[in-house]
Amino acid sequence: MSVADTVITVEQARKTYGGKGARGAAPALDGLDLTVARGTVHGVLGPNGAGKTTLVRILATLLRPDAGRIEVAGHDVVREAYAVRLRIGLLGQHAALDEELGGRQNLELFGRLHHLGARRARARAGELLERFDLTRTGRKAVSQYSGGMRRRLDLAASLITEPEVLFLDEPTTGLDPRGRAEVWQSVRSLVGGGTTVLLTTQYLEEADQLADRISVVDAGRVIADGTADELKAAVGGDRIDVVLRDAGQLGAASALLPAAPGAVTVDADRRLLSAPVTDRMAALTGVVRALAEAGIEAEDIALRRPTLDEVFLHLTGPGDRVEEPA
Ligand SMILES: Nc1ncnc2c1ncn2[C@@H]1O[C@H](COP(=O)(O)OP(=O)(O)OP(=O)(O)O)[C@@H](O)[C@H]1O
Ligand SMILES: [Mg+2]
């Protein structure tokens, strides 16, 4: 990737709330590195408290880093904050829309706040309502919008200024599957228009769906980086899933799988065993034979790639840090 194609550069970013030497405070960013290429969607994936919002706020010039070289669209976020602001859009975790106003009015207001001029603001609001399929909301106040509609309006508002780079901080947290799918569709259409997107998420599926590259963040640093496929491959390639007819035989069957006992996951409800494999065909034939010899009946045996959930667990280690979003 040539330097000209790099739109976001983060080198060794550090931030501790309450100041560098704040006593007892763990750093929110602890030497974080990140590079984002123009016209791509970059996913920042991490659990609660990983440092995602801190990173986005620093990139959007809302928060000063303690240290690091951080550039957005060719400008330093500290020394050239104004130049950065002219080139970015931000969709925060908690967005600011006027509840009493309708979608069109909100967008026109945002346009005026960004010095677009009345006519330009009106035209831009119209374009964005069209693009995010919000024209039929009419005069309905935002307070009556569904979650998905509201997030689409948030997205439209963050695009008023036609930003070169757009930051989306957990754009679909709290949405139902339908709202989520609507927002995904909108994000995909953005990239077609040339916008570079940095998106944070706790949803592995979301990063897998939208992001060209993914940085997995934990405790303020990147612990893995790559395409979804590369991350999956790094975790040890394929897995074998075995569904038994009789849950009572899960223990006996798990001992027959070609993996260390600790590497086998057991899902008793689904009568499912899952284990990493190195040689696909040898594992498949070996497991079929071993089960038959032990008289254990399988309902299904399948080889598959690991899910991003498994990748994430593998990278961050076992623990209770991955919480359900509120
Ligand atoms: N304003 C603040 N003052 C003090 N500490 C903060 C502040 N904001 C965040 N932190 C701390 O910094 C760390 C990183 O928080 P951050 O909000 O960046 O995480 P996150 O990845 O966005 O989490 P979430 O998924 O919950 O939004 C956490 O330990 C958090 O408690
Ligand atoms: Mg956050």
Pocket of ligand 1 (CB under 6 A): 17, 28, 46, 48-54, 93, 202
Residue with CA at minimum distance from ligand 1 atom 11: 28
Atom of ligand 1 nearest to the CA of 26: 29
Q: What angle do CA 111, 192, 202 make, to 5 degrees?
A: 80
Supply the pLDDT for residue 122.
94
Per-residue confidence (pLDDT) for residue 30, from 0 to 100: 97
Q: How many CA atoms lie within 13 A of 49 on its CB side?
A: 9
Ligand nearest the Cα of residue 16 is 1
pLDDT of 98-114, one tens digit each? 889 999 999 999 899 88
pTM, whole model, 2 decimals? 0.80
Residue 311 pLDDT: 77
Residue of 17, 30, 59, 312 with the most ligand 1 atoms within 8 Å of its CB, for mutation: 17
Ligand whose nearest atom lies closest to the CA of 326 = 1
Q: Are 277 and 303 in contact (CB under 8 A)?
A: yes
Tokens of 77: 């976020």
Going by the DSSP 8-state scheme, the letter that residue 141 receives in this structure is: B
pLDDT of residue 326: 40
Single-letter amino acid, residue 29: L
The answer to whether the CB of 38 falls within 8 A of the CB of 25 is: no
Segments in the chain below pLDDT 70 = 1-4, 19-23, 93-95, 236, 317-326
Q: State how far the Cα of 283 lies from the Cα of 277, in Å rounded to an integer.
A: 7
Task: Specify the pLDDT at position 323.
Answer: 43
